[in-house]
A and B are shown apart, each in its own frame.
Chain A
Amino acid sequence: MSRSDASAPSALNRRQFLGAAGATLVGGLAVSGQELDKRVVDAEKKRIATVELVKPSVVAIFEKGGAGGGSGVLISDDGYALTNFHVTGKKTGMKCGLPDGVLYDAVLVGLDKVGDVALIKLLPPKDGFKFPFAKLGDSEKVKAGDWSLAMGNPFLLATDFTPTVTFGLVSGVHRYQPPEGGGLLEYTDCIQIDTSINPGNSGGPLFNMDGELIGINGRGSFDKRSRINSGVGYAISINQIKNFMGQLKAGIDTDHATLGASVDNDKDDDVGVRLVVRAVLDDPPCDIYRRGLRSGDELFAFGGRVMENVNQFKNVLGIYPKGWRVPLVYRQKNDKTETLARLMGSRERVFEFDDMGKPKKPDGAVTLEPAQGAPAKFYEAKAGYANYFFNRQMRDQLLAGFKKQGDFSKLTGEWSFEADVTTDRKKTEARVVLREEKTDNGKPGNTVVSMTFDGLDYKLEPLKEGQKVRELTQPTGSGGLLMALHHYRSLLTRGEAGFDKNHFNHGGIEPLYAPPAVGPMPTTKLESLRTDCEVLLTELADVQGRWYFSPKDHTLVGAEVTIERDDDPCELYFYDYKPVAGAGSLPHKIEIRSGNGRFATFVIKSYKIG
């Protein structure tokens, strides 16, 4: 566990030393006997007002027994607060002091170990209690040369929980600082400041001069000097944290992503700056390889940003959670292509092996200590999660909302529908039937999906063992439409019971790029299709499902069913919900896509659900 950054190892004997630094700040205001420019006075007043405005949201975090600690900031009135992972470490329960002088219990909610972020929740002392909180800003608007305020608990000075404030310049934006400590604590796309931050400031807020939260302070460049302010500090940008917020709130121990391709500046570039793909993982083929990217291609844009140097590339990779799809523009020979790259996890892939040939322990294997005392009620341990209590809560809320769209739990008989089908080549028809067939020995419960599609008959027994990928993913080109429909029906009729135990979890927030309801899928500006959805992650017999729900009303708007991990999933996009069988609404248009193209669009004429 690295505590190497800006968290204070001990409060002992540090107070006098930092007291002097605090006094300088106040000293600037105590000018007397001199005529000051009114503008200076006004600017000071505004600054003081801003500090007063945001101060109540600043959290002083203490380890049990006062052994160490750091800072944090409240971001909602129900007590959610951000801090650094290297402040919370193994702890799942902690004590938090607010400037109101009260010490609150808090529980760990979510972790982003690579990004060095922890989401915690302060426990309200009574029902209906509202915490003060800071408004999230837009760190994309921050520029080098802007003023900033850092607040927190340097050297654990805040024994009465009143935060220290320091004032300084944004020295740079979109900075990349490599990982420190086994692949963790990678500061990508971060904000560089000359605003003084010191041990204990870790996890504390960086504000713009309007008092909006633009970052979480956590790291500095020190080199040969001691680990105190060196004029070079870094804050994790709030926009990166916003990307991870859904995962954090869902109690997930999140992971960052890799693209599966390495890039470098073109060697011969005294005429211009070009970023060229050096290698793409092709065995097994990673998603971006399957999308068409090859070594030697030029990378134009990634995540909506122009790519000119390696740091910019690493910055974009660093701000998204694994599993997200991100637009990428590349040039191959003379063809410029925009595609959606599916990012894979950076921690789950083990590239290194020890001397015995065993995979090395994946980075980020930190064993969390179960919470004690008051927070224990809000903590549930589970592998892959920072705190499963919050995942269960989010998932149940999501499912409750989904059930409002329709309750199909009693309709476990035969399902069938007829559809008019459009493919890129022709118009045709399809009929689909899903039902439980009796097995040879007369036992019930073996599901069979059959489909007549464009005059051909397809049949799948989803749970029959020993089937080849080719059989499971039929019809060819769909990525496994029959399997996907089976999972869809299971989700609707059986819910959690329809999937493997422990594989029915909230997945946080992910963007979905649904094709427009009218007209073809565009080939450029894919970002315009993006909707951020709540995700449900399921698994049944090694087949994985990702279910995308509209965050507004929990309508199911899309799904991805992956049969073979290194192959393209079957993507379903749901439109045109209409009531069916008195049970609820079902989509009457489904677009089925896989890989780089559309398999078909089904316009459903009628459902028969029993």
Chain B
Amino acid sequence: MIRGMTAPAALLALALCAAPAATQQQFDKAVKDVNQKMVKIYGLGGFRGLPAYGTGMAISADGYILTVSGYLIESPKDLRVHLADGRRFDKIKVVAVEPELDAALLKVEDLKDEIPFFDLKESAKRPAGQPGDWVLAFSNQFEIATRNEPMTVQRGSVASVSRLRARKGITEAPYNGEVYVVDAITNNPGAGGGALTTRKGELIGMVGKELRNTLTDTWTNYALPLNAKIEVIPDAEKPDVKATVSLLDFIDKGIKGTYKTVARVRPEGGTGGYHGIILVTNPEGVDRAPPYIEEVRSGSPGAKVGLKSDDLIVYVNGELVSSVKTFKDIISKTKPTDEITLEVKRGDKLRQVTVKLEDHPKVAKVPAPK
């Protein structure tokens, strides 16, 4: 009789213990699995207030690394990679870069053994993340980890799957396809190239850069889905012929050595009317810089009124323009066919010109990265 009472009670006790454990998930296994495949990237940076570190994911046993495009990988000779086991490699090849996808493919040279990696093709077969899904984000944000120390792991939910509208400084982010918007603060300095996974540690995306939402001006936390794709124009001479390039294509062709950075339909210069004036800016966007003209596109409205490089824009429509940002803000409120009056300083003299804004040209070549 006593035995009869005890057994179910014991079972119940077990069940009560087990239940919370199942829902208040322990992520340590997922954390361990994912960390083996993460790498720390070191490269250009330090100056301009830019971090000299970043994150990447191993995507093949022989050392291909996926990360975000950008200044960090501009100079292959400065690149270094620390594998998850702490080994350091100084010979890193930049295999392919696609700024429009915000992706870059690196290869760790001189790797003699096989390393753990994310199988992207397998990962991409799984259903994409949906709003409400729990996700884990892994990255070396703030360079908290060094050598064989594990990445930062954060938990959040997919808040939405939507098109990215974001900027870095005053520069519009090139990629404007779909992203996972995450409700955790995942996109801190150095987080770009990190892994976004399911709660089980299955890869669903790549953590993006530190960008601001163009609509709300707030920092945005997002990741590029594995099925990310862009529409491109393979031949700039034939702007009507379009093709689609996906992240997986990029990686596939990148590894085969056949990937070519593409041209793409994109309005130039952001919102507002087209003037053809390119201001001197920091590539990462120091928007407080004074609005000096770097270049004026030939044939553009700006060129038609004789604006030249090194001119300093002082007033627009009688309003003092102290920075690149102010100029951009004013222009963003204009539309093609509007006329704007500029006062520019050339040498010691002020001169006034009236620029008639036009439609943005439809095709612009995206220069191949160095």
Contact A223 B189 (CB under 8 A): yes
**Interface residue stretch chosen among B85-93, B293-301, B311-319:** B85-93
Q: Which of B1-9, B24-32, B68-76, B339-347 contacts A (4 or more CB under 8 A)?
A: B24-32
The proximity string for B residues 133-172 relative to A, scoring 1 for CB distances below 8 Å and 0 otherwise, is 0001000011011111111111100000000000000000
- Stretch of B180-188, B223-231, B348-356 contacting A (4+ beta carbons < 8 Å): B180-188
B8 vs chain A, min Cβ distance (A): 18
In the complex, the chain B residue whose C-beta lies closest to that of A269 is B88
- Stretch in B14-22, B246-254, B257-265 touching the partner: B14-22
Q: Which residues does chain A contribute within 8 Å of B186, judged by CB atoms? A: 231
Report if B244 contacts A (CB, 8 A). Answer: no
Contact call A144/B23, Cβ cutoff below 8 A: no
A174 interface contact, C-beta 8 A: yes
Q: Does B110 lie at the interface of the complex (its beta carbon under 8 Å from any beta carbon of A)?
A: yes
Which residues on the B side are within 8 Å of A144 (C-beta)?
A: 27-28, 31, 150, 153
Which residues on the A side are within 8 Å of B142 (C-beta)? 221, 223, 232
- Asked whether, in the complex, the Cβ of A221 is within 8 Å of the Cβ of B23, the reply is no
Q: How far is the CB of B109 from chain A (nearest CB, A)?
A: 10
- Which of chain B's residues have a CB closer than 8 A to the CB of A311? 145-147, 149
Checking A39, A224, A265 against B147 with a beta-carbon cut-off of 8 angstroms, the contacting residue is: A265
B87 touches A269 (CB 8 A): yes
Question: What's the Cα separation between A203 and B369 when bound, in Å?
Answer: 48
Residues of the A chain whose Cβ atoms lie less than 8 Å from the Cβ of B141: 221, 232
Instruction: Given A43-B20, A231-B154, A270-B89, check contact A309 B149 (CB 8 Å).
Output: yes
Q: Are A232 and B86 in contact (CB under 8 A)?
A: no
User: How many residue pairs bridge A and B at CB < 8 Å?
Assistant: 121
| B152 close to A273 (CB less than 8 A) | no
Q: Give the Cβ gap from A310 to chain B, nearest Cβ, in Å.
A: 7
With a cutoff of 8 Å between Cβ atoms, the chain B residues found around residue A373 in the complex are: none
Asked if B144 and A172 sit within 8 Å, CB to CB, the answer is yes
CB-defined interface of A134-178 with B at 8 Å, one 1/0 digit per residue? 000000000111110000000000000000000011011011010
Instruction: Contact check, B30 vs A172: say whether CB atoms are below 8 A apart.
Output: no
Known: A37-B23, A265-B147. A230 touches B185 (CB 8 A): yes
Tell me which residues across on chain A come within 8 A of B31, comparing CB atoms.
143-145
Q: Which residue of B lies closest to A194 (CB)?
A: B154
How many residues on chain A are close to B (CB under 8 Å)? 42
Among residues 161 to 199 in chain A, which have CB atoms less than 8 Å away from a CB atom of chain B?
A: 168-169, 171-172, 174-175, 177, 192, 194
What's the minimum C-beta distance from A196 to chain B, rounded to whole angstroms? 9
Cβ of A532 under 8 Å from chain B: no
Q: Which residues on the A side are within 8 Å of B151 (C-beta)?
A: 172
Q: Is A272 an interface residue (CB 8 A)?
A: yes
Nearest-CB distance from B13 to chain A (Å)? 13
Q: Within 8 Å of chain B (Cβ to Cβ): is A209?
A: yes
Q: Does B155 lie within 8 Å of A194, measured CB to CB?
A: yes
Q: CA–CA, A37 to B153, complex, Å?
A: 26
Closest partner residue, chain B, to A172 (CB atom): B152
B-contact bits for A24-44, CB 8 A (1 contact / 0 none)? 000000000000011110110
The B-contacting residues of A in range 227-243, CB under 8 angstroms, are: 229-232
Q: Kindly supply a per-residue 1/0 record for chain B positions 26-49, scoring 1 wherever the CB is within 8 Å of any chain A CB and 0 otherwise.
A: 111011000000000000000001
Contact A39–B22 (Cβ < 8 Å): yes
Bound form: Cα–Cα A312–B150 in Å: 12
Residue pair A169, B144 in contact (C-beta under 8 Å): no
Chain B 66-102 interface 0/1 with A at a Cβ cutoff of 8 Å (1 = within): 0000000000000000000111111000000000000
Chain A residues close to B by CB (< 8 Å): 37-40, 42-43, 46-47, 143-147, 168-169, 171-172, 174-175, 177, 192, 194, 209, 221, 223-225, 229-232, 265, 269-273, 308-312
| CB pairs A–B below 8 angstroms (30 shown) | A38-B19, A39-B23, A42-B16, A42-B19, A144-B28, A146-B27, A168-B155, A169-B154, A169-B155, A194-B155, A194-B185, A223-B188, A223-B189, A224-B49, A229-B185, A230-B185, A230-B188, A231-B185, A232-B142, A232-B188, A265-B88, A269-B87, A270-B87, A272-B87, A273-B85, A308-B86, A308-B147, A308-B148, A309-B147, A310-B147
Instruction: Given contacts A231-B188, A273-B147, list 10 more A-B pairs with CB under 8 A.
Output: A38-B19, A43-B19, A43-B24, A46-B24, A145-B26, A169-B155, A174-B149, A194-B155, A224-B49, A232-B144
